[in-house]
Chains A and B, each alone.
Chain A
Amino acid sequence: MKPETVLNADVRFTLNGKAVAWLGSPAAPLLDVLREGFGNTGVKCGCREGECGACAVILDGELVNSCMVAAGRASGAEIVTIEGYKNTPGFEILDRAFAGAGAVQCGFCTPGMILAAACILRNNPHPTTEEVRKGISGNLCRCTGYNAIVTAILAAAGEGEGKW
């Protein structure tokens, strides 16, 4: 990433509960800023064009593909990556549920999938199977065929009352 000097300005945002500032180009993809600027390598790059969901993060409560978001858009926002989410009570439930369902194979889609699950359950603590499937349909997984992931999210919903 080459900083564009004309555009350069501090982009200040909250990353996993901590106030941070990005000093590079506000046009840089948030994906690169998170991975390279802040070492959040749990944010995966699968396609860099918004199709696979491996780079999904939570921005002000919404799931976004960080490859499609310019760093400047993060200004003033609260961003959560797997590095932060893994310390929450919601994660503990999803972790157990994903383990119990065997929902992690290669693991590359997993951080994005967990954050997608967190967003689904926050908005709808008792989703139907169809709602779960629709909710993760922006996150590709080539290993599991999705059943184990859907089972895990439904199991987490059953356990996680009030934790989202």
Chain B
Amino acid sequence: MKLLEYKGKELLKKLGIEIPKSVLIDKDSIEKSKEVAGEVIVKAQIIGGKRKKLGLIEFATEDVEDKAKIILAKKYNNLPIESVLVEEKIKGEEYYISIVYDTEARKPMIVFLKSGGIDVEESEEEPSTLIVSPNDGLSEEDAKAFAAKVGMDDAFASVLVKSFACFQEYYCRILEINPLIKTDKGYVAADAKITLDDTALKKIEEFKDVEDTEDKTFLTQLELDARKIDADDHRGVAGKTFVEFDGDIAVLASGGGASLTCMDALDEAGGNAANYTEYSGNPPKEKVIKLTEVTLSKKGLKGCLVIGGTANFTDIYETLSGFCEGLLKVSPKPEYPIIIRRAGPRDDEAKVFVEKFGKDNGFDITFYGEETPMTVAVKEMVKRVG
């Protein structure tokens, strides 16, 4: 789960890292912006980068309320901006630090750049890194040695120790402070980008009740409709993952690795997916009916691919009869080719049923089983769509 800047800063503060004086306001509490005097920065609280370049960060002195109102009136990815952070402006040398997991060392790693700030990605500077034992943590001594090596002082080492403690305490996947500013009074974290490990939220008191960590900023209506299928019925999975694209081949896939392998093949063969969605874990027929309806409600489709590997438990007959029932509900009636490649429990019965269903109801359906590799079926789909 990605945290908004102000929330990330709260966590840093709990571990003893200095953050600028600030106040969080929304459209009903704009007058509270007066609580921070002098030169301030007004920052939209959104998940995502490039705020400065999008005009979602403004400097202000007297006109704080106006600037806040302007930002609050803007949108980010078609969704309103709900809050802004009004924060005292901090001046000084800007540094960059982050903590992530290094796959090679299989341990946390501290990354440091001497030149922090918004253009850090374009920086030519080679990052300095320090691998830290997840069991022993970062000792004051090791932090000081690293700080000295990169030309920083003991106060900086202390920030590293506190940052690492925060990284561990809150099960962070990524903790980034950019910039970390050196002032007369010490180091101040002027921004915070923290991603928590979704799998560990239940271990953290203040996040243990968070159920849904998905950022809804980007979802289309079709995507929201598909997610609703799973939200309303917890048996099996159908629609929880649904991503809409610009293409013309509708996809209903099964099994994580298998579905991605097939999507890769579709891409490689020059096909254009209209969506990506998955059903698995033996969902009841009703959920497959709904997912079929939602998926095929998209306009301009030229083909439909129902694809998956060899299922262990998912009842192929049950789920495919759900797909067929869903087909009957789609309007206008799909005239485009439909290719199914499925194997697993009751796949023989499913084949007989689907082929008869297609003939009786005038659908162009081809059924492939285990004998046909998944990606061969995908290439066939692309060929048929042309």
Q: Do A and B bind each other?
A: no
